Amino acid sequence: MKVYKFGGASIKDALGVKNVAHILQQEGASNCLLVISAMGKMTNAFENIINASINNDQDKLTESIDLTINFHTKIISGLFQDDHKIHQKVTILFGEMIHFLAENTSKEYDYLYDQIVCYGELLSTIIVSDYLNEFGIDNNWKDVRELVITDAVFRDASVNWKETEQRIKTYIDSSKLTIVQGFIGGDSNGNTTTLGREGSDYTAGIFAYCLDATNVTIWKDVLGVLNADPREFKETQLLNKISYEETIEMAFYGASVIHPKTIKPIQNKQIPLYVRSFNDFNSPGTKVSSGIIIEPIVPCFIVKKNQVLISISTRDFSFMVEENISDIFRLLHKYQLRVNLIQNSAISFSVCVDNNFNHFDQFYDEIKFIFKVSFIKGVDLYTVRHFTKNSLNEIHNLGSSILSQINKNTAQIIIQKK
């Protein structure tokens, strides 16, 4: 059993969908499960629908819905005849979404987010499934919300592994090609949940674990795992091999090639993971498994942008003790502020956090009555694994270094751009 994951960039247009068929033709489609993301940048487009609905902006809502309909219609027109049944399937899905928006009374953003953004994956998988059938690659389409069962924490759900494994083993025929949606799941009340942004990689790991897969392949628009994001650094190098442990470290610090939660389930069963290029599928890419830390050993750069650096101290200049730090982390957890760096002294405690859920202002409004707090928004956190003197100089030249932390293998530097 093989598990393949195709992200939005791989199916951003009709040519991309056709390319998936060619990859399956070359690699073999039997004994295979495909995890597929929303097409192109459609997750962002569905987020615009959610925001317009929350703000009760009917003109923007209509415009945003029309954009998503037109995008998918254009792709369909490049793949199917005008009378193909896919047109009706897509119309039904958009009708369901529009009906939900009309009937919905909840103003809870995270709940609404999961109920709407899932249509990106539902649409993409139905289109790819029907095209592969037309191409001559028979497949079974499955609704992942009936297979990956989670709790009811919207936008960051946790998997019920026992229930999920039982359902996947019961309902997936591993001898045939199966197509499922990435990123989404379902709770016990029938609501759609999501596994965190870019969670399709994690979905691939879940299915690989439950099906005892031979391997997992993530198809990307790069040759494999690079030592730096080519959008941020002019010179990058392909890593031929990388260990599970090193991948987890890099993912923890924010490397975007592989979702942080993906590695644990496949490592537990020693399932190798490959990162390969959908543009050059004759290239072997990067192998992630046990053994060699990285090959070759070069500095690896990871960037997390638009961070918030928070400095906290007691109001009476007393020591920052365990009780203080416990209170701080309770509030960070409450407001879903993910911590990426920690530094403390006798009387102060600094953290660099993501504000992906836009809850920082609420966090600040509560914590400012307990502690003395200052913060800087919009900073960038650079992490360098296996750093050298030259690699650190390269980061320092990007702007003003306002905080740094270095241990044996890893350097973290917070930069405020010039």
pLDDT bin (cut points 50, 70, 90) of residue 6 is very high
The string of pLDDT tens digits covering residues 291-307 is 889 999 999 999 999 99
Q: What is the pLDDT of residue 254?
A: 81
* Pair 254, 302: CB distance under 8 Å: yes
**Lowest-confidence pick of 96-110, 120-134, 145-159, 220-234:** 220-234
pLDDT of residue 88 exceeding 80 = yes
Q: Average pLDDT of the chain? A: 95
Confidence of residue 55 (pLDDT cuts 50, 70, 90): very high
Give the predicted TM-score (pTM) of the model: 0.85
Q: State residue 230's pLDDT score.
A: 87
Q: Are strands 399-406 and 410-417 parallel, antiparallel or unpaired?
A: antiparallel
pLDDT at 14 over 90: yes
Q: Is the pLDDT of residue 409 over 80?
A: yes
Residues 6+ apart with CB under 8 A from 390: none
- Residue 317 is predicted with a pLDDT of 83
106 — pLDDT class (breaks 50, 70, 90): very high
Say if residue 296 is preceded by a cis peptide, omega within 30 of 0: yes
pLDDT tens digits for range 249-294: 888 888 876 877 899 999 999 999 999 999 998 899 999 999 889 9
CA distance 393 to 373: 31
Distance CA 202, CA 301 (A): 22
pLDDT of 322-367, one tens digit each? 999 999 999 999 999 999 999 988 889 999 999 988 999 999 999 9
pLDDT at 281: 85
- Tell me the pLDDT band of 83, cut-offs 50, 70 and 90: very high
Nearest to 165 by CA among 151, 181, 149, 179: 149
CA–CA separation, 306 vs 269, rounded Å?
A: 36
Percent of the chain with pLDDT over 70: 100
pLDDT at 18: 98
What are the residues facing 344 on neighbouring strands?
349
pLDDT for 132 equals 98
Mean pLDDT of 302-328: 93
Q: Is the pLDDT of residue 98 over 80?
A: yes
pLDDT value of position 370? 93
In tens, the pLDDT along 153-192 reads 999 999 999 999 999 999 999 899 999 999 999 999 999 9
3-state DSSP of the chain: CEEEEECHHHHCCHHHHHHHHHHHHHHCCCCEEEEECCCCCHHHHHHHHHHHHHCCCHHHHHHHHHHHHHHHHHHHHCCCCCCCCHHHHHHHHHHHHHHHHHHCCCCCHHHHHHHHHCHHHHHHHHHHHHHHHHHCCCCEECCHHHCCEECCCCCCCCECHHHHHHHHHHHCCCCCCEEEECCEEECCCCCEEECCCCCHHHHHHHHHHHHCCCEEEEEECCCCCECCCCCCCCCCCECCEEEHHHHHHHHHHCCCCCCCCCHHHHHHCCCCEEEEECCCCCCCCEEEECCCCEECCCCEEEEEEEEEEEEEECCCCCCCCHHHHHHHHHHHHHCCCCEEEEEECCCEEEEEECCCCCCHHHHHHHHCCCCEEEEEEEEEEEEEECCCHHHHHHHHCCEEEEEEEECCCEEEEEEEEC
